[in-house]
Each structure stands twice: as structure tokens, then as C-alpha cells.
């Protein structure tokens, strides 16, 4: 398990201080429909936060525009230089659209992705992917 850096000098940020001062900001967000938008100030702070290399809370950054995330969607952070030429970039959202999910939202999200979720008596929950039926 990775720990949060204690004094903000450990780990690595996706966007360093010098790069963060760039205008326009060096990263954009690719939406699930393939459009791109500027990044909300809270998302900028997230990209500028130092994380240890194997920390599961690190931001997901795409290597290229067409790369899909673990859910098979095209959405994710992308370096501006990797946007297809001519693709317009929309304004940042008024509110951070990447806020952490509540417990209930996590359960609903996992269920929509095909997971079976069991809510445990201690308040935790267990999720497992439901295997697709074997076609015969």
C-alpha cells in the first residue's frame, strides 16, 4: 500500500510547477464522447499533487487521444500536444466534474459497469465482476 507523501517533497506530480504556469495549461480532459475541454482548477490541483508511483489515487493520464481507460471509455486527462489537430477545446466546467464518489455512488457506478455488489454488515462493500454467460 502506498502512503501519501508527508511533506509534499516525495513522489511525482503529473504537472510540475514550471509546466503548471504555462498558458494554455498543458493538459486537457477528453470527454467520453471524444470532445475535449479545458481543466477545472480543482483538476489542475489534482494533476499538480505529488503521488508515489504505485499510488492508486494518481490521476489517469492517457498516452494518446484514442486510448481507452479501464472501463473501455475514451475519457481521461491528455497532454494538449496529443490532441488531434483541429479538435476544438471547450471551456472548463463551472464545477469540478471529477469529485470523489460517495459510497452509494460508487456502488451504483459499479453496478452499471456489470459488477455484483454485496453490502457488508460492517458498512463496507464487496464488488466482483459478473462473468458473461458462456455462449453455446
As a whole number of angstroms, the distance between CA 50 and CA 3 comes to 11
**What's the confidence (pLDDT) of residue 2?**
42
Distance (Å, rounded) from C-alpha 61 to C-alpha 41?
Answer: 17
Q: Cell 475514451: give the residue.
A: 74
Tell me: the pLDDT tens digits for 26-39?
Answer: 999 999 999 999 99
Q: Spell out a b/e string for 38-64, using b for 16 or more CB atoms within 10 Å of the CB, else e.
A: bbbeebbebbebbbeeebeebbeebee
| pLDDT score for 10 | 77
C-alpha span between 101 and 96 (Å, rounded): 12
pLDDT of 132 reads 66
pLDDT at residue 136, rounded to an integer:
59
pLDDT along the chain (136 residues), means of 10: 52 92 95 95 93 85 94 93 95 80 85 89 87 62
Amino acid at each position: 500500500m502506498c502512503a501519501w507523501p508527508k511533506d509534499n517533497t516525495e513522489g511525482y506530480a503529473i504537472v510540475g510547477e514550471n509546466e503548471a504556469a504555462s498558458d494554455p495549461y498543458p493538459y486537457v480532459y477528453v470527454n467520453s464522447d471524444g470532445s475535449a475541454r479545458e481543466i477545472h482548477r480543482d483538476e489542475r490541483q489534482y494533476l499538480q499533487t505529488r503521488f508515489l508511483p504505485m499510488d492508486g489515487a494518481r490521476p489517469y493520464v492517457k498516452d494518446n487521444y484514442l486510448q481507452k481507460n479501464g472501463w473501455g471509455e475514451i475519457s481521461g486527462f491528455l497532454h494538449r500536444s496529443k490532441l488531434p489537430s483541429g479538435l476544438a477545446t471547450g471551456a472548463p466546467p463551472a464545477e469540478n466534474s471529477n469529485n470523489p464518489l460517495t459510497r452509494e455512488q460508487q456502488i451504483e457506478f459499479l453496478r452499471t459497469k456489470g459488477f455484483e455488489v454485496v453490502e457488508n454488515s460492517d458498512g463496507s462493500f464487496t464488488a466482483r465482476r459478473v462473468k458473461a454467460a458462456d455462449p453455446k
